[in-house]
Structure 1
Amino acid sequence: MKRWRSGSQQGTQADPKASDERLDIAALNAVAAQDRDAFDQLYRRYYPRLIDFLTRLVGRAGLVEEVVNDTMYVVWSRADSFAGRSRVSTWIFGIAYKQAIKRLEREGRHRTERLPQDWESWAPNVGADSEISKLQIQEMLDKAIARLNPTHRSVVELTYHFGYSYIEIAEIVGCPVNTVKTRMFHARAKLRRILGVLARRE
């Protein structure tokens, strides 16, 4: 593994992301040298973020923990393969995504979910003069996002919840940027069907 310096990534001293990246690069360099303390630090830094991401992607708590462990085992054993072409977080999330998809495929759960026939019943039963709260809209979105297949759901979550760019998401999920855009288009179209019900009832 090439020893990546903090200056190998764009950023300034005042940029929190640049500061985080320097810490990640230093830790990953040490992990590549089999430094267990550095691995423990990296594990603690990424554990809550991976739990959040994988819970949104695969759902089941027991499976989430297994995928986190699988992910961090790959980080430990392949730290020297990090090439520095992306942020460390992008690299680790990419490993997590691939491990999650493998698990879902193994369990036969990686399939496209159609919205149920009664999907309109998810919309609150309100009159024309009623206001729909942000909480209700968020609940609707959460239910809709949960119905997306993992490939579409991951693009939505990585974009809106974790703030990754399409280029970074392409690195994470291992596909061209245009494929990421296509997946987002289809995900938005499905979500828009539900939000359209809300708009008509306002």
Structure 2
Amino acid sequence: MTRPPEDTDTALLAATARGDRTAFERLFRRYHGPVFGFALRLTGRPDLADEVVGDTMMTVWRKAEGFEGRAKPSTWIFGIAYRVAAKARGRRAKDSLHDELDDQFPAARSGTEAMEAVFDAKAVRAALATLPVEQRATVELTYFYGYRLTEIAEITDCPVGTVKTRMFHARAKLRALLGGDLGPGEVRHG
């Protein structure tokens, strides 16, 4: 189902730039969950993820007129979130990562399947937590959010070649930590 023209992210950003609080609220509701999930994966802490969402959306409110449309609105918003999360991590670098997502695993059909899902997910989270934030962001944006490497380059403000290198090293580290294949899913380069 396509959105009416006035409900597209681009239209909502334009209205936000004109000071339309209703348009901003719609953008906020639309991006709160995805930005929170991304920030949580980067910071490992729900309190920091909340802070990242708030700071990101406040930046969107203040700088909406600066959106030039060269990238998708989601790419622009996730770029802001990436930079805000990096700053939040830097401020709290001494804090350890917390493991507070156990209740978010998909329900399995049996107790054994549920236990396997929890152990697999914990192993993946633990492996991701060992990656440098730039590599982790590349993996997260690719596999959890479906961004292309060119879009990730825009979000992280670096060349596509750097993103490819980060992905290569991240996958090698994850493969070593998790053993074998990283599962289905193809990295989209376009």
Query: TM-score, normalized by length of structure 2?
Result: 0.77
1:19 Cα shift?
A: 7.2
**Counterpart amino acid of 1:101?**
A
1:76 Cα shift?
A: 0.4
2:131 aligned with 1:148, yes or no? Answer: yes
Q: What is the total number of aligned residue pairs between the two structures?
A: 162
- Provide the C-alpha distance between the structure 2 equivalents of 1:155 and 1:45, rounded to a whole number of angstroms: 22
Partner of 1:47: 32
Residues 184, 23 of structure 1: CA spacing in aligned structure 2 closer, same or farther, 3 A cutoff?
same
Name the larger-Rg structure: 1
**Counterpart amino acid of 1:51?**
F
Q: Tell me, which stretches of 5 or more residues in structure 1 are unaligned?
A: 1-13, 111-132
2:73 aligned with 1:88, yes or no? Answer: yes
CA RMSD for the aligned pairs?
Answer: 2.5
**Counterpart amino acid of 1:80?**
E
**Counterpart amino acid of 2:70?**
R
2:54 aligned with 1:75, yes or no? Answer: no
1:96-134 deviation digits (Å, cap 9, x = unpaired)? 000111121223359xxxxxxxxxxxxxxxxxxxxxx66
The 8 Å contact of residues 24 and 42 in structure 1, kept in 2 or not, is answered as: yes
- Provide the C-alpha distance between the structure 2 equivalents of 1:47 and 1:168, rounded to a whole number of angstroms: 20
**Counterpart amino acid of 1:189?**
A
1:188 Cα shift?
A: 0.8
Partner of 2:42: 57
- Provide the C-alpha distance between the structure 2 equivalents of 1:97 and 1:20, rounded to a whole number of angstroms: 28
Query: SS of the counterpart of 1:48?
Result: helix
Bigger CA drift: 34-43 or 140-149? 140-149
Partner of 1:157: 140
Bigger CA drift: 141-150 or 166-175? 141-150
2:182 aligned with 1:182, yes or no? Answer: no
The 8 Å contact of residues 90 and 172 in structure 1, kept in 2 or not, is answered as: yes
The 8 Å contact of residues 127 and 178 in structure 2, kept in 1 or not, is answered as: no
